[in-house]
Amino acid sequence: MEEMLTGGALDVLTGDYLAELTMLILGRDRLKDPARGYAKTFLRQLETGLGLAKDRGVRIVVNAGGLNPAGLADAVRELSERIGVPAAVAHVEGDDVLARGPAGLRAPDGSGAERSAADGPASGSGWGEGVLTANAYLGGGGIAACLRGGADIVVTGRVTDAALVSGAAAAHFGWAEGDLDALAGAVVAGHVLECGAQATGGNYAFFAQEEIDVTRPGFPLAEIARDGSAVITKHPGTGGAVTTGTVTAQLLYETAGARYAGPDVTARMDSVRLTQDGTDRVRISGVRGEAPPPRLKVGLTRMGGWRNEVTFVLTGLDIDAKAALVRRQLEAELSSLEARGRRPKEVTWTLARTDHPDAPVQEEASALLRLAVRDPAEERVGRAVSGAAIELALASIPGFHVTAPPGKGSPYGVFETAWEDAARVPHTAVLPDGRRVTVPAPERTLEPAPVEEPSLPEPLPDPLPASYGESRRMPLGAVAGARSGDKGGSANVGVWVRTDEAWRWLVHALTVDEICHLLPEIRHLPVTRHVLPNLRALNFVIDGLLGEGVASQARFDPQAKALGEWLRSRKTDIPEGLLP
C-alpha cells in the first residue's frame, strides 16, 4: 500500500483481499467470534497508508470487509480517530445471504434443479447441509454510490474482483446501467489489476526468454478513459514489466469462454485488443459489453470433513516393487480398520516418479508415494492411519522413511457455486453519514449464450504452410506461453503465442484431443476449448480436476497454478520455422 501511494499519482487505490479459500477461513473466524470475519491485514496496512492517502487525495476501495464489512468500517473509523487522520468511511453490504434460504436457485450439486420458496427450507443454513458461508458476488454499483456520497474509504464484502475498479470508474465518469461498452472496458481493466504483480511479470511464462527482472515487480495501475478504454502501466522505476504478453497472461487467468459474465455487464473477451503504447504501457481497447445475466453467482463454503496424508520416500532401485509392497502392507491394515467400521471413506494412492538413475544427490534418487485419506469423522483419518504407516518402519522396504511424523487429521473445506436471482439479493451502500442507499438490480439482463468456434470477430486463420519446414519434437513452451488457475472444482489453462504465424499453427494443433494427450490426468474429464483470436489465445476449461475446490486439497497442485507450466513442458510436433 505504501509503495503504491508514494510511487506516483493515483486517484483510487484498490485492494482485493478475498479468494475462495479466504471466505472459508473468515467463516471459521466468525464462528469463534461473531465480531470478526474481515481481513485484519488491511487495518495494519492502513496504520501508515491512511495518512499518505489523505495527503495525496487518494481514495481507497477494498473488499477486505469479507463477511463483516460493517465491522471493518467501524474498525477503520476507530483507527482514524486513534491516529488523528479524519476519514469518511462507507461500506457495501447485502452479499451475505447465509441467513435466508434460496429461491429460484440453481442447485449447487450441478443437477440444474431449481428451488422455490414454496419448497421450504433446505437442511442446514437453507443452502445445504453444513454451509458455513454463502455470499453473492455483487457488482460495482454500491461502490459507486459510496464514492459519490463522499467516501474516502469504501469497504465491501464479496463483490467481483473487477468491481473494485469498475465501480470506482463508474463513479468518476457518471456511467449508467446502459453504458455497457464502457463498463465492460473497466471490468477488463479490473481483471488485469486484481492479481497485482501477476500483470507486471509475476508468474509470467516468458520471464526468462524476455529477460524480465521480476526480483521485485511493481504493481500495475490502470489509466481509464471515459469510453472505458485503458492503459495498463506501473509506477516509474519499479521492477518487472508491462507488455502485451504479461497483460495477455493475466487476461487468461481464471476465465473461461469469450463471454466474461458479471453482475453489471458481460464483457466480450474476444473483442479485447491489446497494443504496446510505449515502455511499460499496454493499451486495452475495443471491449464490447452486453447486458449482465439475470442471476448472481453465490459462493458457498462448508467444512467437507477430515483428511490426513503420509508420504513414503522410495529411494534407489526397484521403485515399483517398493511401492507395491508398501501398498499391500497398508491395505492390509485398512482392511482391518474396515472390519472394525473405521476405514476412511476415501483412500487415494499417488506415486510420483521424481527419481533419477545414478543420481549424484540422494534426494534425486528418490520417488514419493503418497497416501491420502478423507472421511467425515476425524477419528477415521487420525493416528489409526498415520500410526500404522510408521509401524512399518522396521518391517517394510529397504531405506524406509517418510517426510513427516504421524499426525492427527486436519479439516478440509469445500467450495460450491450456486446462482440466485439478482433482484432477490439486497445491495446496499451505507454512506459516511449513515444513509442507506439501495442499489437496484439491472433492469435489462441477458442469459449469456456460448460463443461457438470460431469466435468473434473473424474465422480461424488458414493452417501454417509447409514452407515453415518439418516438425521437430519440442516442448510446447518453446513457442507458447500459458497461465492456469482455479474456479471452484474446475481449472482453466490459457495458452497464447506472440506472432500471427505461431497462432496459425496453435489454433489448429492444440485441440481438445491434443491437450488431453499432453496432459493424461485430464483425459477422463470434460474439457472445453475457447478461441480468442485477438489475443492469439486458446482457453481450456477442465471441469472437475480440482475435486471440491482448493480447500479440499484433492490434487498435488490444488489450485492448478502450475498446470500451464506442466503443459508447456510437454513435447509436441512444432514446425522448425516457428522455433527460436
Edge-to-edge strand list for the sheet holding 266-268:
259-261, 266-268, 288-290
Residue 119's pLDDT band, with cuts at 50, 70 and 90, is: very low
> Is the pLDDT reported for residue 197 higher than 50?
yes
222-254 pLDDT, tens digit per residue, is 999 999 999 999 999 999 999 999 999 999 999
Q: Is the dihedral of CA 196, 197, 199, 202 positive or negative?
A: negative
Please tell me the distance from the alpha carbon of residue 426 to that of residue 138, in angstroms, as a whole number.
Answer: 9
In sequence order, the 6+-apart residues with CB closer than 8 A to the CB of 464 are 501, 504, 505, 508, 575, 577, 578
Q: In the structure, what pLDDT confidence band is assigned to residue 383 with cuts at 50, 70 and 90?
A: confident
DSSP percent split of the chain into helix, strand, coil, nearest 5: 30, 25, 40
Q: How far is CA 54 from the centre of its chain?
A: 32
Please tell me the predicted confidence (pLDDT) of residue 359: 96
Model confidence at 471: pLDDT above 60: yes
**CATH number of 303-413: 1.10.4100, 2.30.30, 3.30.70, 3.40.50?**
3.30.70
The Cα–Cα gap between 189 and 182 comes to: 11
Distance CA 366, CA 351 (A): 11
H or E element, residue 266 = strand 266-268
Q: Per-residue confidence at 103, pLDDT binned at 50, 70, 90?
A: low
pLDDT at 144 over 50: yes
Quote the pLDDT of residue 49: 97
DSSP string, 414-433: EEEEEEEEGGGS--EEE-TT
Rounded to an integer, the average pLDDT of 514-525 is 96
In percent, the amount of the chain with pLDDT more than 70 equals: 94
pLDDT (0 to 100) of residue 450: 73
Q: Which amino acid is at 167?
A: G
With contact defined as beta carbons under 8 Å apart, do 236 and 8 qualify?
A: yes
The pLDDT value given to residue 124:
43
pLDDT attached to residue 20: 85
- The CA-atom distances, in angstroms, between 151 and each of 45, 87, 142, 177, 338 are 19, 8, 12, 22, 61
Per-residue HEC secondary structure of 436-504 comes to EEECCCCCCCCCCCCCCCCCCCCCCCCCCCHHHCCEEEEEHHHCEEEEEEEECCEEEEEEEECCHHHHH
pTM for the whole structure: 0.91
| pLDDT category of residue 118 using cuts at 50, 70 and 90 | very low
What is the rounded distance in angstroms from the CA atom of residue 390 to the CA atom of residue 395? 10
* pLDDT attached to residue 552: 74
Question: Is residue 159 within 8 Å of residue 65, measured between CB atoms?
Answer: no
Which one, of 230, 396, 400, 375, lies nearest residue 308 by Cα? 375
pLDDT at res. 72: 98
Question: What pLDDT does residue 121 have?
Answer: 31
Hey, where are the domains in the chain? 1-174+416-449, 177-292, 303-413, 466-578
The per-residue pLDDT for 108 is 40
Share of the chain above pLDDT 90, in %: 84
Q: Measured in Å, how far apart are the chain's first and last C-alpha atoms?
A: 40
Q: What does the alpha-carbon distance between residue 515 and residue 226 come to, in Å, rounded to a whole number?
A: 41
pLDDT of residue 210: 96
How many residues in total does the chain contain?
A: 580
Query: H helices of 222-261, where?
Result: 244-251
- Chain centroid offset of residue 189 CA: 16
* Partners of residue 368 on adjacent β-strands: 313, 352
Most confident range (mean pLDDT) of 99-103, 112-116, 184-188 is 184-188
Q: What is the mean pLDDT of the chain?
A: 92
For residue range 69-99, what is the model confidence (pLDDT) as tens digits?
999 999 999 999 999 999 999 999 999 999 8
pLDDT at site 271? 96
Please tell me the predicted confidence (pLDDT) of residue 100.
Answer: 72
Residue 117 has pLDDT above 70, yes or no: no
Sign of CA dihedral 151, 152, 156, 161: positive
- Confidence label for 549 from pLDDT (cuts 50, 70 and 90): confident
269-292 pLDDT, tens per residue?
Answer: 999 999 999 999 999 999 999 999
pLDDT tens digits for 121-139?
333 456 777 899 999 999 9
- Give the model confidence (pLDDT) of 389-419 as tens digits: 999 999 999 999 999 888 899 988 999 999 9
- State the Cα–Cα distance between residues 322 and 366, nearest whole angstrom: 12
